Amino acid sequence: MAEFLYVTAALLLLLTGLGLARMLWGPSPADRMMAAQLVGTGGGAIALLIATASGATAMIDVALVLALLAAFAAVALSLGEPGTQQRDGGANS
Amino acid sequence: MIGSTTLYGLCATGLVAIGLYGLVLHPSPLRKVIAFNLLGSGTFILFGVAAQRGAAAGLLADPVPQAMVITGIVVAFAATAVAVALLLRLVESGGSTLEPSAPDPQDDRPS
Amino acid sequence: MSLMADTLTIAAVSAGLFFFLAGTVGLLRFPDTLTRLHALTKADNLGFGLIVLGLLPQSPDVASGLKLVVVWLLVQLAGASASQLIAQFASKGGPSA
Amino acid sequence: MSLLPDFALMLLILIAAVWTVSARDRRDSVIGFIVVGLLLSLAWIRLNSVDVALTEAAVGGGATGLLLLRACARLGPNETEGVSLKVSLRILTGVLCTVVAVALATIVLYPIEPAPTLAPTAAAHMGEIGLGNPVTVVLLAYRAIDTLLEKVVLVLALIGVWALTPDPLWGGAPGSLRAQHSSGPLTFLAQVLPPVGIVIGVYLIWNGADRPGGTFQGGTVLAAMWLLVMMADLREPPEIRLHTLRRLVVLGPVVFLVAGFAGFWIANGFLSYPPDLAKPIIVLVEAALALSIAVILGMLVAGPAARAPR
Amino acid sequence: MTPAAYTATEGGALLVVAIVLPVIGMLAIFALGLRRAERIAYLVLPVGLLVALAIAADVARSGAAVTYVLGGWQPPLGIALRADGLSVTLMVLTAVVLCAVGLVARGSFSTPPDKAEARSPMVFWTLILGLWCALNTVFLSQDLFNLFVALELLTFSAVPLVCLDGRRETLQAALRYLLFALIGSVLYLMGAALLYGAYGTLDLAGLRLLARNDLATSVALGLMIAGLMAKAALFPLHLWLPPAHAGAPAAASAVLSALVVKAPFFIILRLWFDVAPQPANAMAAQMLAWLGIASILFCSVMALRQARLKLMIAYSTVAQLGYLFLMFPLVMASDAPTAWESVGWTGGVLQLVSHALAKASMFLAAGLIAEALGHDRIENLDGAMSVVPISVAAFGLAGLSLMGLPPSGGFVAKLMLLTAATETANWWIAAAILLGGILAASYVFRVLNRAMAAPASDFACKASIPLYRELTVLGLAICAVVLGFVPLQPFAFLGIGRVGLP
């Protein structure tokens, strides 16, 4: 069973890696952020798979933190403006 | 035969080289700070490799370098925070954040 | 019992992997930002859920199983919020170049 | 087992790193950096350093990304920033980086055998502390002075950030972190996630005594929850002159120092613990430190005061 | 192969106090938000000086290093603190300079009576205390990673001091300083990672016993020294220093120039003489010396060309730091039985100490002159002598040390270096020392000439300076002069604790 889970983790890593192409291609920041999102969830899943396969349950906590903070990058991205040359100087005035 | 630990050592080497390149050459401080973080990550992985190679006495990895890395990550975050605050203040005061000698025609001044 | 659990694990995890594959393909192949987003989040969340489902029978104790479920719930929540935020972000500036 | 997955992970990290340095737009670069951080936490799992993986997940994926993206939002997004164009300089730097990389790679490829390690020594003395997580024991007992001084570094960094406050605004609150357009999903997230996050943060701190986790990981998670609430505009950042805030910031270092000095009376010297009391003392110190870390990290991201005190 | 254990000595607990006391003061100022931040600082400064003197007395009396093992955990697992002759010398120097700076800064960084807390006093005093903790840790710690944390403490305390006034130029200088410092830190840390991978210890004494002459060790030490060079502003990595040190308020500049840049140099000394496998690499020593020579010549010429007094002094700092790096080949080529019995080593250390005193005095004097005249343009210094005569005198006395004229600590230091250079037939180094002295004389006299000139008819004094501030500055300058009466030979005190490590 462990072997199967390791192989799945490896395949999932490859898929995540393919998703990175979207980060390179873009074209908009939203597209790139999606790739980051995929790495976050995919990474969480990989951590869970390795944790179960190796029996090191502490690794589940890594997935827990990854999942908890998965939306953070998207939230932070939405602080800014999507594309135009604008400055968020008003936020602190 | 190269072990997986060695692979991560090579990964650290790559991160160091990439980070160093960006840190020296990028004219914009924000990009320098990002490159500094890459360089730092590479360095931390070097500690991680030492930790993994030092697995012994029933521990999966030597805890001492791990503790050092955690301390290092905290310090790197603090450095990033100070640098970011500094460069935001610089932009707000109307200054260019670019190195004065940089040939880049554009600067961070808001339009 | 163990055989049944293993079969469930293999089936569910494989299905999860398939949905991840679908999500990645969608992310790469779909023509514009919003459809890509849709494909990614739907497939991702399903995929993640199935993998968690598959891992549940393998978890050594109740606490770990519980944590798996919490992780799944968090990913659901994060996925839903993040996709909406990204969609809002993308539509704010119109289709950007 | 096959090396392929590790090789793939290494390749992905390097690709994301190259993108981070070479992207034209600075926000793209930050996204690249977040991806590197997420992938690195997987690498740390593979290096059997779960404590570090947790830290990297919390900091690389969360705090640093937030800090940098917020900076991008305030700087304005669309400035093209290529690498400096002077060819001679680029070649020189390239050569320098290659030399460093080759030297490091050679050292990595021909390690000392058997690898020197402190693991046996560290494991041998764990019984004197009574904690199960060796990394926590290193951080709070064997090398406690590093941790203590690192907390001082955090306080100094906070002072350094606050020092950038324009004089008339001193004592006031940092600028609001909220997004320009309030949005339903964000508010929802900020209402639902923090209770869970606080539980997880406390769990990480508590768990850190015996299993991977600890003050910094837990504290970062707590800080992230606080920041989320501030970003959703459910709370404003506090004024930096507030005494409560100041006291929370120094709470961790002060408790640590008191525990350290207590060692002169109840054990044999500064930062040493009596074996039967070691665990409660360390857990107490960890709790105080985590609280301070959460407050400091949140305020570091929030930045210098931008409004006059009320 | 386990290194000999450290044994905690009688007064070892004082070492902890030396490190922790400033932290307590800093946290107190930060947390209490007192009406007058400086009150706590004035409490901490004299006590800290007494602690440093007590440790020095202990070392002098026992003739051996004072040691403390933190938490009772033996290195390499734990961390040891150790004060030898060199470290206590620098600790006392630090305490003296900081106390003097504290006195002079009272005029510029007192909390206004109508406010509960003001920005610049609060920031200044907390950061000065943070610096003190960092410096004492650098001088005492025996662990390379702990030294990294100390270096970071130093960076985080020093950078905000540069941009205390919030002007655009100083913000820019601070940002550049921070970036250079960060490169330095990360290179240092990389070296530490390699050393840990090679030896499984970062304890100085342990490394000294184990150090091999192999690739990993050379690369590690090379990276660390390169990183520290960036922090110590050795040519050509000095670019950050002049704007940063010139932009900071005078009291902060004094600390930055006198003490902060010395800390990375001190760690280079430790690495070179306590860690590197002996004999050290002769080519590396020559290279450091050549960079030192370039620092001396290039930055002295730059100092001559500056229009602003503080910028001139800042360039002079880089030049004077260059002298420190001359000692490596001189010590290597000397035939003294140990490094610390050679004339070159003593001369280098003496140069470090006398420059610290002289430069602190000079920056403080420049600050007072600028306060009195309302500007620091060298061209318009006429009349300074009539307004702040004591400060101008202090500037001149401190200048003696920089030029290397008798009687001054700088004279003895440079004479020792010169002797060592001629003894070991390093003629280029000897020539650089002489030429550097002539250049220093030109830039110091350029200022003094203007300052002594009769005031212009429309001359107006902007502010009157209390006598105690001027006298403090003069006191520092006199200390630098008094160092000139030490005997011209290696001092046994600086060698205490260095034989038979640990």
Question: How high is the pLDDT of residue C30?
Answer: 82
Question: How high is the pLDDT of residue D76?
Answer: 64
How far apart, in whole angstroms, are the C-alpha atoms of residue E108 and residue E442?
Answer: 31
Give the minimum alpha-carbon distance from A83 to chain C in angstroms, rounded to a whole number. 6
Report CA E344 to chain centroid distance, whole Å: 19
Q: For residue C9, which amino acid is it?
A: T
Does the structure show a pLDDT above 80 at E425?
yes
D309 touches chain E (CB under 8 A): no
Query: Do the Cβ atoms of D144 and D260 come closer than 8 Å?
Result: yes
ipTM: 0.92
Closest to E10 measured CA to CA, from E54, E46, E45, E71: E54
Within a domain: C67: yes
Does the structure show a pLDDT above 80 at E448?
yes
Tell me the chain A residues in contact with residue D19 when contact means C-beta distances shorter than 8 Å: 23-24
Closest to E28 measured CA to CA, from E125, E108, E104, E110: E125
B101 touches chain D (CB under 8 A): no
Question: How high is the pLDDT of residue E501?
Answer: 44
Closest to E70 measured CA to CA, from B105, A62, D268, B75: D268
Give the minimum alpha-carbon distance from B110 to chain A in angstroms, rounded to a whole number. 7
CB contact under 8 A, E186 and B43: yes
Within a domain: E125: no
Does the structure show a pLDDT above 90 at E338?
no
Within a domain: E313: yes
CB contact under 8 A, E190 and B53: no
Residue of E nearest to B76 (CA): E182
Does the structure show a pLDDT above 80 at C34?
yes
Task: Count H helices and E strands in chain A, helices first.
Answer: 4, 0
D1-116, which class in CATH? Answer: mainly alpha
Residue of D nearest to B84 (CA): D71
Residue of D nearest to B28 (CA): D81
Question: How high is the pLDDT of residue D231?
Answer: 85
Q: What is the mean pLDDT of residues A30-49?
A: 88
Nearest neighbour of A72 by CB, restricted to D196, D211, D224: D224
Size of interface C-D (CB pairs under 8 A): 22
Question: How high is the pLDDT of residue E50?
Answer: 94
Residue with tokens 């991201």: D301
Question: How high is the pLDDT of residue B76?
Answer: 94
Within a domain: E187: no
Confidence category of residue E381, pLDDT binned at 50, 70, 90? confident
Total of domains in chain E: 1
Confidence category of residue A5, pLDDT binned at 50, 70, 90? confident
Residue of B nearest to E183 (CA): B36
CB contact under 8 A, C88 and D183: yes
Confidence category of residue E231, pLDDT binned at 50, 70, 90? very high
Question: How high is the pLDDT of residue E387?
Answer: 85
Partners of B59 in the β-ladder: B56
Within a domain: E407: yes
For B39-54, give the DSSP string: HHHHHHHHHHHHHHHT
Provide, rounded to the nearest whole percent, the portion of chain E with pLDDT above 90. 52
Tell me the chain B residues in contact with residue D85 when contact means C-beta distances shorter than 8 Å: 103-104
| Structural domain containing residue B34 | 4-92
Residue with tokens 């549940």: C56
Give the minimum alpha-carbon distance from D186 to chain B in angstroms, rounded to a whole number. 24
Give the minimum alpha-carbon distance from D258 to chain B in angstroms, rounded to a whole number. 21
Query: Do the Cβ atoms of E194 and E220 come closer than 8 Å?
Result: yes
How far apart, in whole angstroms, are the C-alpha atoms of residue E69 and residue E141?
Answer: 10
How far apart, in whole angstroms, are the C-alpha atoms of residue B26 and residue B41?
Answer: 18
Question: Please, what sign has the CA dihedral across residues E451, E454, E456, E461?
Answer: positive
| Structural domain containing residue C68 | 2-92
D308 touches chain A (CB under 8 A): no
Residue D239: is it exposed, middle or buried by C-beta count within 10 angstroms (0-12/13-18/19+)? middle
E54 touches chain B (CB under 8 A): no
Confidence category of residue C95, pLDDT binned at 50, 70, 90? very low
Express each pLDDT in A49-69 by its tens digit: 998 888 888 889 999 999 998
Question: How high is the pLDDT of residue D180?
Answer: 60
How far apart, in whole angstroms, are the C-alpha atoms of residue E82 and residue E77?
Answer: 16
Question: How high is the pLDDT of residue D109?
Answer: 87
Does the structure show a pLDDT above 70 at A92?
no
CB contact under 8 A, D217 and A72: no
CB contact under 8 A, A79 and D9: no
- Provide the mean pLDDT of chain E: 88
Q: Which residues in chain D come in under a pLDDT of 70?
A: 1, 76-85, 179-182
Counting CB pairs under 8 A, whether chains C and B reach 3 or more, is no
Nearest neighbour of B51 by CB, restricted to D49, D143, D161: D49
SS3 E68: strand
Partners of E81 in the β-ladder: E68, E141
Express each pLDDT in C39-78 by its tens digit: 888 878 888 889 988 888 888 888 888 888 999 999 888 8
Express each pLDDT in E51-81 by its tens digit: 999 999 988 888 888 899 988 888 888 899 9
CB contact under 8 A, A43 and D178: no
Total of domains in chain A: 1
SS3 E337: coil
Residue of C nearest to A49 (CA): C55
| Structural domain containing residue E411 | 279-494
Q: Which residues in chain B come in under a pLDDT of 50?
A: 99-111
Tokens of D149: 């001084």
How far apart, in whole angstroms, are the C-alpha atoms of residue D258 and residue D263?
Answer: 9
Q: What is the mean pLDDT of residues A67-90?
A: 66
Express each pLDDT in E275-296 by its tens digit: 888 777 788 889 999 999 999 9
Give the minimum alpha-carbon distance from E298 to chain D in angstroms, rounded to a whole number. 22
Give the minimum alpha-carbon distance from B92 to chain E in angstroms, rounded to a whole number. 9
Provide, rounded to the nearest whole percent, the portion of chain A with pLDDT above 70. 86
Total of domains in chain B: 1
Total of domains in chain C: 1
Q: Where are the domains of chain D?
A: 1-116, 118-310
Taking the model in full, what pTM does it have? Answer: 0.93
CB contact under 8 A, B111 and A89: no
Nearest neighbour of D50 by CB, restricted to A13, A14, A58: A58
Does the structure show a pLDDT above 90 at E141?
yes
**Residues 6 or more apart from C94 whose CB is under 8 A from it?**
A83
Query: Do the Cβ atoms of E67 and E142 come closer than 8 Å?
Result: no
Residue of A nearest to D204 (CA): A61
Within a domain: E423: yes
Within a domain: B42: yes
Nearest neighbour of A76 by CB, restricted to D35, D45, D69: D69
Does the structure show a pLDDT above 60 at A91?
no
User: Which C residues 47-76 touch A at CB under 8 Å?
Assistant: 47-48, 51-52, 55, 58-61, 63-64, 67-68, 70-71, 74-75
Question: How high is the pLDDT of residue D182?
Answer: 62
Indicate left, alpha or beta for D233 from its phi (over 0: left) and psi (-120 to 50: alpha). left
Residue of E nearest to D170 (CA): E119
The enclosing H or E element of E131 equals helix E119-140
Residue of B nearest to A92 (CA): B92
How far apart, in whole angstroms, are the C-alpha atoms of residue D207 and residue D227?
Answer: 23
Provide, rounded to the nearest whole percent, the portion of chain C with pLDDT above 70. 93
Within a domain: C50: yes
Tell me the chain B residues in contact with residue D72 when contact means C-beta distances shorter than 8 Å: 30
| Structural domain containing residue A6 | 2-78
Best mutation site among B2, B6, B13 for testing chain D: the one with the most D CBs within 10 Å? B13
Nearest neighbour of B29 by CB, restricted to E145, E148, E179: E179
Express each pLDDT in E203-213 by its tens digit: 988 888 888 88
User: Which B residues 8-27 touch A at CB under 8 Å?
Assistant: none
Residue of A nearest to D52 (CA): A62
Question: How high is the pLDDT of residue A84?
Answer: 39
D150 touches chain E (CB under 8 A): yes
HSE at residue C76, side-chain half, CA atoms within 13 A, is: 11
Query: Do the Cβ atoms of D31 and D17 come closer than 8 Å?
Result: no
Within a domain: A93: no
How far apart, in whole angstroms, are the C-alpha atoms of residue C61 and residue C58?
Answer: 9
List the subunits that have 3+ CB pairs under 8 angstroms with C: A, D
Does the structure show a pLDDT above 90 at E358?
yes
The CATH number that applies at residue B38 is 1.10.287.3510
Provide, rounded to the nearest whole percent, the portion of chain E with pLDDT above 70. 96
